[in-house]
Structure 1
C-alpha cells in the first residue's frame, strides 16, 4: 500500500441514524483526503450543512497533528472562511544608500 504524501488532511463523515436510508447502511462512514486544510474545510462544510456527522484531521506522519472531533467541527469550520492570501513578493533594498 502506497501513501500519498500530497494529501495531508482527511474528512470523515457519517449520515446520522435518524436520516439514514437503507442503502446507506452498508457504508455508514466514509472518508476523503485533501492536500490542504482549506480544501478539507470546504468539503467538511458541505457535509456538515447536509446534516452529516463530520470529523477531520491530519494524516500521520504529517505534523503538526490535528484531530477535530464532531463536537468542535463548527469552530474549526469558522476558522477559515476563505483561502489564505499570499501577497506578492516584496524586495527590500539592503545595500546602504549612496552618499553624496
Structure 2
C-alpha cells in the first residue's frame, strides 16, 4: 500500500469513528429529547448521519453502489423535515380574533 492510500484509509477510518460517535449521541437525543421537535430534528440529522456513513463505506470500498441509496435517503429526509415543519406550523398557528368572514365588530 502506498503513502496516499494509507492516508486515505486513515482519514476514512477517522470519519467512520466520528459518524458512529455522532450516531450514538443522536440516539441519546432521540430517546431523551425534551420535546417532540427535538426528537424530530434529531431523526432528521440521524438520516444525514446514515447518509454520511454510507458515503464513508462507499469511499472505503471504492464502490459507487450506495450512491442511489444515499439519494433516496436524502429525499426521504427532506420530505420528512418538510412534513414536520408544516405540522409544527399548523399546530403553532395563532387563532384569529375576528368574526368569520374577516369583518370585526367595532363597537
TM-score by length of 2: 0.30
Q: TM-score if structure 1 supplies the norm length?
A: 0.31
Which structure carries more relative contact order (alpha carbon 8 Å, separation 6+)?
Answer: 1
